[in-house]
Structure 1
Amino acid sequence: MKIGILDIGSDKIICFIVNIVKDKEPKILGTGIHKSSGISSGTVTDLELACHSIRSSIQSAEKDFGNTIEEFIVNFSSDTIQSHTVNLNIALDNNEVTHEDIKKIYKKIDNLNYGEDRQLLHKIRTTYSIDKNIAIEKPVGMKGSELIAGFNLITANKNVVNNFVKCLSMSKVRVSDVVVTPYASGLGCLNNDDLYIGTTIIDIGEGCSSIATFYKNKLVYAGVINIGGFHISSDIARGLSTSISSAERLKILHGGSVSTNEENELIDIPLTGNEQTTETHRIHKKELSNIILSRVNEILENIRSKIDKSIMEKNLTNNIVLTGKTSELKGFNNLSSDFFGIKTRMGKPIINIKGLADCATGPGFSVSCGLIKYKILKEEGYLQPNSPIENSFLWKKFGIWIKESFF
């Protein structure tokens, strides 16, 4: 099966054309990467610019592949993404649980009210219990008086979703699956132990940062904040009177925490509007570090406040994995570990993919690789009800509207 992978970010749009064959490693057949325009913090801000960026990325991948591709799996990111924890139940009257009972519980989700401005994106069953016995994975065939299913339901602002869908339709993109960015990051970077023992993955992108917590192979929380690496570069540019491009280079070359021995080291800062000249002014490296750390602390504080308190209270997170381009800043890992008081480590894509360029194996490609992993799991049946990692993408009614309106 050949399918397109479309990772839409605020900094770049990545398109992979992938061949997925059962029991074999996926293989990259075409690659296209284009600078992202018309997208800010994961949200479409200019339809025409965003469409041009998406089409350019796809066309590059199709040219590399030598053919067109019909369907794509796409990520969706927005700071309006919310996780809702709900428990739904049905009476069993001491009868055995049937597959029809499972369907009835899932059907109840359709009747829940999230607000007129919310669009349901994912339903993820997290627990089953029969008569308060919560250690149940496969309830079918078991007897009891009541079956309860716990769900993590992920929603986003309906208008934001509508604009996203319109952008894809204008770009002539046929979508088979849409996955929220935090979910994709986790699938791309976390191993089986991480997914089971309780791990939060934090993906620091350019325009926004996403958070996902997995526990016992279930996505139990997902969220996004609209602060990322670009905001650090912007702070540097304003604070040191230099251009955004120069600020980005300074962030990469000299950014992050500094040791005592480095504090007084001098670095040259190009003046705004003088990138083509050698005119600079000098500052101590500590000054640059302070600007960066101030924004990094804000990012981490927002992430901490975003994480559902019940996640922390129930000890569902035993470690934190950091990914995304900005997470590679010097000292970011240690700073995060101290900030959260939880063991942290750097993460990058762990899925084996043939034909993936070395430059595409770093933290900046976690979402892209996670989308590939998602499609593999779905094709193998692991994303169906009662599976180890369960997700049902609830765009059935919405998907009909997409087809009727645009195709």
Structure 2
Amino acid sequence: MNMVSLGSRSFQGRPVAAGRSGTIAALDVGSSKISCFIAKIEPGRLANGHAPVRVIGIGHQVSRGIRAGAVVDMDAAEEAIRVAVDAAERMAGVTIRDVVVGFSGAEPKSQTVGVRASITGGEVGDADVSRLIHHAQANFQPEGRDVLHAIPTNYSVDGSRGVRDPRGMFGEKLGVEVHMVSALRGPLRNLELCIERCHLSVAGIAVSPYASGLACLVEDEMDLGVAMIDMGGGTTSLAIFFEGAMVYCDSVSIGGNHITNDIARGLSTPLSHAERMKTLYGSALASPSDEREMIDVPQVGESDADSANHIPRSMLTGIIQPRLEETFELVRDRMEASGYGRLAGRRVVLTGGAAQLNGARELAARMLDKQVRVGQPVRLTGLAEATGGPAFSTCAGLLAYSQISPLDAAGGDDGDEAAMPRGQIRRFGRWLKENF
């Protein structure tokens, strides 16, 4: 376990009083669509420690001004966000001021930081654990990057590793390994500025595969090991979960929009028709009937229906399959290079809009040599069938993330914790409650 020097900066959202208002809002800023969920916190407590939530407002809009998860046109992105949020507010009958944001850009990077400290009084208490987490966060110095997540993954007491809950144990030295997820500072700042131009405050930011995992994975998958692959419009993101925590994440800049572009270029058809063909007729795997099934393909710049080409469905599959194979190869290479691939075991969960493509699950199973299922949000009420599928996993997961992020922090604490990032203290406190 390495000891690291002091001096770093973490991205801190503005905490919102979700507990007092009873309403939380999630905003997923993607390359193909922007979606907003508004939910009401219900009385009671679920088995995982979360309060049950009921979705009362939903809004989504075709994304503009976003490419590969990053803002490339501030005005266009602002307008799209405003439309999505306004639709959700109208449906919910409330006005929101704070949002938890999910995104897949800014090149997220994983790194594990290990720290050790002496135990005060011989018995590990909450203060010892909090102090250690604070040191791990403060000691991490990614140049030009901001820390989004600091997730404890493993504790040790006097060198004995594999401790899941050190509180109440006796020893002289307490150690922790913390999974730090950082992202490029510039794209994060642009995203925050764009949202603030919509008169909204950013209460927290989560990388999309983490949020999707919170929405789609069951407890056994998180404990035994699983790879979460979120197939978005501009990026495909990866997160590996083990023993209940995310231990690695990464992303590749290929998504469903690239398939649409390939179809448009390969068949000389407008992008809107390429997207329609992908949705209605697209498949990642060939079938015996593909040669006989013909598809009409409108041509770019032609308004006469008689000028449309007629192609066999096999030609469309021949465009889609290589791009998906490339995507899964890149994900497989990232998993193997990370050193965490073995922790995922033989389980993969696909989600995101591109995961709904016919044959994507079967192709992923073949390329990754693992058991694959398509995941969609669970444990949420109020979602219609159209918004309860894989395409909305990130937005749904942000509602779960909001319960472990700094959404109900207000004011500083006394003593040593007063100098610590307020949101991270609250997040870690919630993490303890939910996991132990």
TM-score between the two structures when normalised by the length of structure 1: 0.89
Structure 2 equivalent of residue 311 of structure 1: 340
Using the TM superposition, give the Cα deviation of residue 59 of structure 1 relative to its aligned residue in structure 2, in angstroms: 1.4
Task: Work out whether 1:344 is the aligned partner of 2:384.
Answer: no
Structure 2 equivalent of residue 164 of structure 1: 191
Does structure 1 retain, via aligned residues, the 8 Å contact 2:136–2:178? no
Using the TM superposition, give the Cα deviation of residue 385 of structure 1 relative to its aligned residue in structure 2, in angstroms: 4.5
Q: What SS is found at the alignment partner of 2:361?
A: helix
Structure 1: stretches of 5+ with no match in the other structure: 391-407
Does structure 1 retain, via aligned residues, the 8 Å contact 2:114–2:136? no
Task: Work out whether 1:17 is the aligned partner of 2:45.
Answer: no
Structure 1 equivalent of residue 213 of structure 2: 186
* Match for residue 294 of structure 1 among 322, 326, 329: 322
Structure 2 equivalent of residue 405 of structure 1: none
Task: Work out whether 1:232 is the aligned partner of 2:259.
Answer: yes
Classify 1:61/1:341 alpha carbon distance in 2 versus 1 (closer, same or farther; 3 Å).
Answer: same
After superposing the two structures, state which structure 1 stretch, 289-298 or 71-80, moved more: 71-80
Using the TM superposition, give the Cα deviation of residue 327 of structure 1 relative to its aligned residue in structure 2, in angstroms: 1.0
2-structure distance, mates of 1:31, 1:386: 31
Using the TM superposition, give the Cα deviation of residue 113 of structure 1 relative to its aligned residue in structure 2, in angstroms: 4.4
Deviations 1:56-77 (A, max 9, x none): 1111222222331222211132
Structure 2: stretches of 5+ with no match in the other structure: 1-21, 45-50, 409-425
Using the TM superposition, give the Cα deviation of residue 155 of structure 1 relative to its aligned residue in structure 2, in angstroms: 0.1
1-structure distance, mates of 2:160, 2:318: 52
* Match for residue 432 of structure 2 among 376, 386, 397: 386
Of all paired residues, the percent bearing the same amino acid is 33
Deviations 1:281-305 (A, max 9, x none): 1223222111101110111112122
Give the AA of the match of 2:338: K
Structure 2 equivalent of residue 398 of structure 1: none
Deviations 1:238-276 (A, max 9, x none): 111111111111111221112134235332221112256
Classify 1:319/1:275 alpha carbon distance in 2 versus 1 (closer, same or farther; 3 Å).
Answer: farther
Q: What SS is found at the alignment partner of 2:64?
A: coil
Structure 2 equivalent of residue 200 of structure 1: 227
Using the TM superposition, give the Cα deviation of residue 218 of structure 1 relative to its aligned residue in structure 2, in angstroms: 0.4
2-structure distance, mates of 1:353, 1:274: 46
Using the TM superposition, give the Cα deviation of residue 222 of structure 1 relative to its aligned residue in structure 2, in angstroms: 1.5
Does structure 2 retain, via aligned residues, the 8 Å contact 1:93–1:146? no
Classify 1:294/1:275 alpha carbon distance in 2 versus 1 (closer, same or farther; 3 Å).
Answer: farther
TM-score between the two structures when normalised by the length of structure 2: 0.83
Give the AA of the match of 2:362: N
Does structure 2 retain, via aligned residues, the 8 Å contact 1:98–1:141? yes
Does structure 2 retain, via aligned residues, the 8 Å contact 1:17–1:28? yes
Using the TM superposition, give the Cα deviation of residue 211 of structure 1 relative to its aligned residue in structure 2, in angstroms: 1.1
1-structure distance, mates of 2:349, 2:366: 14
Using the TM superposition, give the Cα deviation of residue 165 of structure 1 relative to its aligned residue in structure 2, in angstroms: 1.2
Q: How does 1:12-91 map to 2 (within 5 A)?
A: 12-23=33-44, 25-91=52-118
2-structure distance, mates of 1:330, 1:7: 24
Task: Work out whether 1:243 is the aligned partner of 2:247.
Answer: no
Give the AA of the match of 1:166: L
Q: What SS is found at the alignment partner of 1:106?
A: helix
Q: What SS is found at the alignment partner of 1:144?
A: coil
2-structure distance, mates of 1:111, 1:376: 23
Give the AA of the match of 2:182: T
Superposed CA RMSD in Å reads 2.2
Q: How does 1:346-361 map to 2 (within 5 A)?
A: 346-354=374-382, 356-361=383-388
Q: How does 1:101-180 map to 2 (within 5 A)?
A: 101-180=128-207
User: How many residues get paired?
Assistant: 388
Give the AA of the match of 2:340: I
1-structure distance, mates of 2:432, 2:93: 39
Does structure 2 retain, via aligned residues, the 8 Å contact 1:200–1:214? yes
